[in-house]
A and B are shown apart, each in its own frame.
Chain A
Amino acid sequence: DQQVKQNSPSLSVQEGRISILNCDYTNSMFDYFLWYKKYPAEGPTFLISISSIKDKNEDGRFTVFLNKSAKHLSLHIVPSQPGDSAVYFCAAAGNTGGFKTIFGAGTRLFVKA
């Protein structure tokens, strides 16, 4: 039972355009949502997060939107750059029933120059 789903395995975007990565979750008890970026042969690096009490968080070119009623979050990258090409993982975290961070399977983003 996948509690966090990233339904698009890959996404291709032209440089300068917007990249939108999506993530759905099933458990309404999650308190916190995070996005990580991963390059090959490296560990994931934290990108941006959002608390369940907010619906938007922005950090430079990266914005995360949270729609709790739809149990959906998205990461917007504007403008996209070739260096953004990586695998992006969304994760949902909570303390109910024990410390828990559930990751999605990832979406590979290709930004074409």
Chain B
Amino acid sequence: NAGVTQTPKFRVLKTGQSMTLLCAQDMNHEYMYWYRQDPGMGLRLIHYSVGEGTTAKGEVPDGYNVSRLKKQNFLLGLESAAPSQTSVYFCASSLGDFTTDTQYFGPGTRLTVL
């Protein structure tokens, strides 16, 4: 049982390049989330999903797209990376919503945009 895994762990991009971050969970969780963490700030919710085939915007969705084609995977895409997107990205999953179930986090992806 691997829990929540994230691929890749590190990445350096040039401004304007695109990439996709993959999050996978093997706990059969319905809810999945993408957060970013910047120095001196708390985690901020980018997008989330309440089930396969669904996505919704969080607090800071601009510049990102997501897809949840399979229940176990939640992809975060950057179509045209900008230096402001340099951050550590965390994926999380939970069985139900925050009122009933714990969020389990992945180890993070450190992204640098030059």
Give residues in A with beta carbon < 8 Å to B: 4, 31-32, 34, 36, 41-46, 51, 89, 91, 93, 95, 98-106
Give residues in B with beta carbon < 8 Å to A: 4, 35, 40-45, 48, 56-59, 90, 92, 97-99, 102-108
Q: Are A101 and B106 in contact (CB under 8 A)?
A: no
Interchain CA distance A89-B48 in the complex, whole Å: 20
Q: Which residue of A lies closest to B105 (CB)?
A: A43
Distance in Å: Cβ of B114 to nearest Cβ of chain A: 22
Q: Are B99 and A32 in contact (CB under 8 A)?
A: yes
Q: Are A100 and B59 in contact (CB under 8 A)?
A: yes
Q: Are A103 and B44 in contact (CB under 8 A)?
A: yes
Q: Which residue of B lies closest to A31 (CB)?
A: B99
Q: Which residue of B lies closest to A4 (CB)?
A: B42
Set B45, B103, B107: member contacting A46, Cβ < 8 A? B103
Interchain CA distance A46-B102 in the complex, whole Å: 7
* Most chain B CB atoms below 10 A, which of A32, A43, A46, A103: A43
Which B residues touch A104, using CB under 8 A? Answer: 42
Which B residues touch A31, using CB under 8 A? Answer: 99
Distance in Å: Cβ of A66 to nearest Cβ of chain B: 15
Interchain CA distance A2-B72 in the complex, whole Å: 33
Q: Are B42 and A105 in contact (CB under 8 A)?
A: yes
Distance in Å: Cβ of A87 to nearest Cβ of chain B: 10
Q: Are B43 and A103 in contact (CB under 8 A)?
A: yes
Given A43-B92, A99-B56, A99-B97, check contact A105 B41 (CB 8 Å).
yes
Distance in Å: Cβ of A51 to nearest Cβ of chain B: 8
Q: Which residue of A lies closest to B42 (CB)?
A: A103
Q: Are A106 and B42 in contact (CB under 8 A)?
A: yes
